[in-house]
Structure 1
Amino acid sequence: MLCTRCRIRTAVTDDGLCTFCSGTRPPLPDGLLPPVPGPGGWGAGTWPRSPVGLSRAVTALLGVVIATDVFAIGTGLRLRGFWDRLAMDGSLGVHRADGRLAERLYGIAGVAQGTALTATAVVFIIWFHRTRRNAEVFDAGVQRMGPGWAVGGWFVPIANFWLPYRVAGGIWEASAQTRSDGGWRTVPRTPLNLWWSAWVATLLFSRFTGSTWARAEEPEEIARAAGLVAAADTLDIVAAVLAILFVRAVTRMQVERAAHGALPATVVPGAHK
């Protein structure tokens, strides 16, 4: 019977979980040693920990982010219409009940976006750190940065535009390159590169649109800024969708690699040259 959680490995516990998902760890095969510490002096556990539950939580929260973005786009474009009519023909609809309601809904959308983004960021970073520690088990030799950077790298000004990507690259390489026969393969980084490009573009464009909105005073300027904010929210949806694909790809590869029982190249002589 397959594991009821990952649906890949054979269930070994009474509640239908495999060794990877249940947290139980079989002994190392004869002749193999635990993996060595990677960059930064961090040690690694002998066996990886399942990222499946965290990946599902991240995926669900990213869905909430997408929903709040859609709500913000709808309310923002409606508000933009009121300001556009004021600029075009002097219509005072924005100051009447409908216009005030549109402004309130737009404010609610902003709060919802901020809340969803914060919750998603927390769970995503926990998942990111989990997969980085797993990557230390799979192959510490290809890790360019220590596991701590999977958390701290996001909070370094300016450098956070590339530090997490370097960590993600090590995670991808360690998770992707094992075949069932113990050989090595190279999986294209397309999901990683697309997600990171969209994420950086979203950050930069959102900062630009935010400053444009803050400076807007005339009806024409407010209408234009509202349109730009809606475009930024659309780009954020694209980034969220690509993030889901990245999270699912890394989680799937790590589950598969754990299922193959592959250990790092540092303890499997000749596995990676």
Structure 2
Amino acid sequence: MLCSTCRLRPPVTADGHCLLCAGPAGAAAPGPPVPAFVAPQQYLRSPDGLAKAVVILLAVVAVADLLAVAAGLNIRRLLADGLENDFATYDDAEATLADNLYGSAGVLQGVMTLATGIVFIIWFRRVRMNAEVFDPSVQPMSPGWAVGAWFVPVANLVLPRRIAGGIWTASAQTNTDGSWRTVPATPMNLWWGAWVCSLAFSWVTSRQYMRAEETQEIIDAAGLVMVSDALDIVAAVLAILFVRKLTRMQGERAALGVYPLGVQG
């Protein structure tokens, strides 16, 4: 059974409201015992430092993607020029340099994506642990899944978003009287949608590029890879907005200094 107003938490009053929706009046109403409120700041850990590191790394990922786009344009130009005159003026040294630059950009992308993913998951676990203090009743999965969910094939396209939704709800700032205030989840939804689209498109285009053999096929595949890099830039920017917003929400939520403990239905 869930609260008749927010449909998120177990009811604690006789009229079916949870503790936050009932407000001060609900605390005095007859019904099941209302859980005590305490201020367990000692169990909270600030995500600010990790958030700053994630934002910086995401910005570097976006720069690496821009370099890859520039290198891709150079490859396409050289191949298109060569194809136009049957490679009569094709410069092998220039082509080798362009290929090396393209490969180096790809390596930089891979290294920065790996580093960013590691720090992002550490930050994600931190905000999930804080959400457990704020409101454990709205968390769909145990804290350990904040890490494990990213490594489950196919399910990692869904599970982290479920966990993020619980974190977002628990981190939404309540009003000073204890009533609930909903924060639109647009930044989270945009980030997740862009990330999934970028991941799927990258998977398809990278395989098409590896299968390309003819010159025109390589040109076309390189163009698709550039689109994939552009999508990754969009996903990185939206991830920055999501990380900054959720981190700020947790700071505001922690400043209230009151958290429900052990609400049971």
Letter of the 2:74 counterpart: R
Alignment of 1:17-166 (within 5 A): 32=37, 47-91=43-87, 95-166=91-162
Q: Which runs of 5+ in 1 are unaligned?
A: 1-30, 36-44
Deviations 1:125-178 (A, max 9, x none): 000000000000000000001111110000000000000000100000000142
Instruction: Give the whole-Å Cα distance in 2 for the aligned partners of 1:78 and 1:57.
Output: 32
Please, which moves more after superposition, 123-132 or 177-186? Answer: 177-186
TM-score by length of 2: 0.82
> How far apart in 2 are the matches of 1:51 and 1:102?
41
Larger radius of gyration: 2
Structure-1 residue corresponding to 2:238: 242
Give the conservation status (yes or no) of the 8 Å contact 1:178–1:262.
no
Provide the rounded CA distance (Å) in 2 between the counterparts of 1:181 and 1:218: 68
Tell me, yes or no, if structure 1 residue 216 matches structure 2 residue 223. Answer: no
Answer yes or no: is 1:192 the counterpart of 2:175.
no
Deviation at 1:46, TM superposition (A): 5.5
Instruction: Specify the SS of the correspondent of 1:90.
Output: coil
**Number of residues of Structure 1 aligned to a counterpart in Structure 2:** 230
TM-score by length of 1: 0.80
Matched-pair contact (CA < 8 Å) for 1:46–1:137 = no
2:37/2:258 contact within 8 Å kept: no
Report deviation, 1:183: 1.9
Change over 3 Å in CA distance of 1:138–1:92 after alignment to 2: farther
In 1, Cα distance between equivalents of 2:81 and 2:66:
23
Task: Give the Cα–Cα distance (whole angstroms) in 2 for the partners of residues 63 and 170 of structure 1.
Answer: 26
SS state at 1:124 partner:
helix
Q: Contact (CA 8 Å) 2:75, 2:98: kept in 1 or not?
A: yes
In 1, distance between residues paired with 2:144 and 2:219?
A: 44
- In the alignment, the residues of structure 1 paired with residue 77 and residue 180 of structure 2 have an alpha-carbon distance, to the nearest angstrom, of 56
Amino acid at match of 1:192: M
SS class of match (2:103): helix
Does the CA-based 8 Å contact 1:51-1:251 persist in structure 2?
yes
Deviations, residues 175-221 of structure 1 (Å, cap 9, x unaligned): 01422342211111100000000000001000010011011000000
Are the equivalent residues in 2 in contact too, given 1:141–1:265 (CA < 8 A)? no
**Preserved contact between residue 138 and residue 263 of structure 1 (Cα < 8 Å):** yes
For residue 166 of structure 2, the aligned residue among 166, 170, 176 is 170
Task: Rate the CA distance shift 1:179–1:220 in 2: closer, same or farther, 3 A.
Answer: same
**Residue type at the aligned position of 1:183:** S
Q: CA-atom RMSD, angstroms?
A: 2.0
Alignment check: 8 A CA contact 1:86 1:92 kept: yes
Runs of 4+ in 1 over 4 A off after TM superposition: 92-95
Letter in 2 for 1:190: T
CA–CA separation in structure 2 for the residues paired with 1:260 and 1:110: 45
Partner AA of 1:257 in structure 2: R
Match for 1:206 among 179, 202, 208? 202
Greater relative contact order (CA < 8 Å, ≥ 6 in sequence): 2
1:94-137 superposed Cα distances (whole Å, 9 cap, x missing partner) = 55221111111001101100010010000000000000000000
What amino acid sits opposite 1:81 in the alignment? Answer: R
Structure 1 residue 93: Cα displacement: 5.5
